[in-house]
Amino acid sequence: MMNPGRCGDGEEDDMEKYAVQVLVLAHAYQVPWLKRACEGAIGARLTADSAVDVLQLAALCDAPRLHLRCTRLLAKEFAAVERTEAWRFLQENDPWQELQVLQGLHEADMRRRKWRRKRAEQRVYVELSEAMDCLDHICTEGCTEVGPAGRAPAPAPCARYATTCRGLQLLIRHFSQCHRKSCARCQRMWQLLRLHSALCDRPDSCNTPLCKRFKQKEQEKAAVKAGDDGDKWGLLVKKVKAARVFSSLANRKQMSSTSQC
């Protein structure tokens, strides 16, 4: 008889050979440690051919870890599972179980898509946060080609020159020279200036163009309770503000760890 404290090579071989039968007994007699060991042994040998049968076994024996491994394998190799005899048998004899499996796969796919969408949105907020930092840097200190009025820009590029700052400088130069009424690049610059104004807490002394003007307009809109567009804009401002805070904390932590080393 196996025990949780000791398991020899022979017992491991027996576990792999009789894992299914032992899992049923461990579930019936409520032996948690043995049940977990069986789940691990069965899950380690899980294939597309056995996934459907093991999934049903996991449901009958209340084995959530094994059920999760089966679900992940089904989602990853569903095309191979569909060609197995076990899946065809399930379709013909247990359509309710088939429906549950398909619903589970659909929900897992929706969760993955939602997670990817959130990750993409978070990247956008981080990029906007970096753009705001670069805009402050350009309008206050200047960088290589663009700087505040009456002051030469710094000749040496900043740390974000290759990723964000250079593109923003090109956009500013285009914005200052473009005279078209409907220009997508100019519209993007207007939005960046508006976003900066919404995040800026010193509009009276800010060197960024139109900061105070945009701030006054936003205050007027808030006074008359802007509609859905204003709500969406406010949400964007909150997200970018949160991204700036997290980015600042991450930079401080990195600098602290570097100084300690």
Mean pLDDT by 10 residues, the chain (261 residues): 48 70 90 90 90 89 90 89 90 87 87 91 87 84 72 70 79 84 87 87 80 80 58 79 76 63 53
Residues 214, 198: Cα–Cα separation, whole Å: 8
SS3 of the chain: CCECCECCHHHHHHHHHHHHHHHHHHHHCCCHHHHHHHHHHHHHCCCCCCHHHHHHHHHHCCCHHHHHHHHHHHHHCHHHHHCCHHHHHHHHHCHHHHHHHHHHHHHHHHHHHHHHHHHHHHHHHHHHHHHHHHHHHHHHCCECCECCCCCCCCCCCCCCHHHHHHHHHHHHHHHHHCCCCCCHHHHHHHHHHHHHHHHCCCCCCCCCCCHHHHHHHHHHHHHCCCCHHHHHHHHHHHHHHHHHHHHHHHHHHHHHHHHHC
Residues 96, 12: Cα–Cα separation, whole Å: 36
Tokens standing for 115?
């997670």
Per-residue pLDDT at 113: 92
Domain 116-249 architecture? Up-down Bundle (1.20)
Sign of CA dihedral 130, 135, 164, 150: negative
- How do the domains of the chain map onto residue ranges? 9-93, 116-249
User: What fold is seen in the domain 9-93?
Assistant: Potassium Channel Kv1.1; Chain A (3.30.710)
Per-residue pLDDT at 258: 61
Q: Which residues pair with 188 in a beta bridge?
A: none
What's phi and psi for 205, nearest 5 deg?
Answer: -110, 10
Query: Angle at Cα 227 formed by Cα 222 and Cα 232, nearest 5°?
Result: 90
Closest CA to 71 of 109, 29, 118: 109
Q: Which residues pair with 6 in a beta bridge?
A: 3
Per-residue pLDDT at 6: 46
